[in-house]
Structures are given as C-alpha cells and as structure tokens.
Amino acid sequence: MNEQLDRMEIKLAELEGKLDVAAASVEKMRKYMLWTGIITLAVIVIPLLLIPLAIPAFLSSVALPAGL
C-alpha cells in the first residue's frame, strides 16, 4: 500500500512539473498574441483611418491642367 502511495506521489510531482511548463508556455503565447494585435492595429487599422484624411489634402495640392 505504501509503495502505491509513493508511486502516486511521484506521478503527481511529474504532473505538477508538466503543468508549470504548460502554464509558462500559455503565458508566452498570450504575450505573443497581445503584441501581434498591437502591431496589426498599428500597421493596418491606423493607416486605413488616416487615408481618408490624406487623400483630400493630396488632391488639393495637385495642380490640374488649365483645359480641364
């Protein structure tokens, strides 16, 4: 009986170690996902919001030919 308890304690310790490794991996993945979202926002969404402001300014600075 005592031998079974020892084996179970060893297994439990192994599982706890694996759980700690998995938790660290999940935390790294969470940080990667956070930074991916921030970079996506900066590279795609912000320029899409600024284009409607930039196009009228650009068109007003372009000189049109006199015949048009």
Q: What is the pLDDT of residues 46-62, one digit of tens each?
A: 999 999 988 888 888 88
CA separation for the pair 11, 6 (Å, rounded): 9
Helix residue spans in 1-68 (DSSP H) = 2-40, 46-61
Q: What is the pLDDT of residue 67?
A: 58
Per the prediction, the chain carries an average pLDDT of 91
The whole model's pTM is what? 0.61
- The pLDDT tens digits for 23-33 are 999 999 999 99
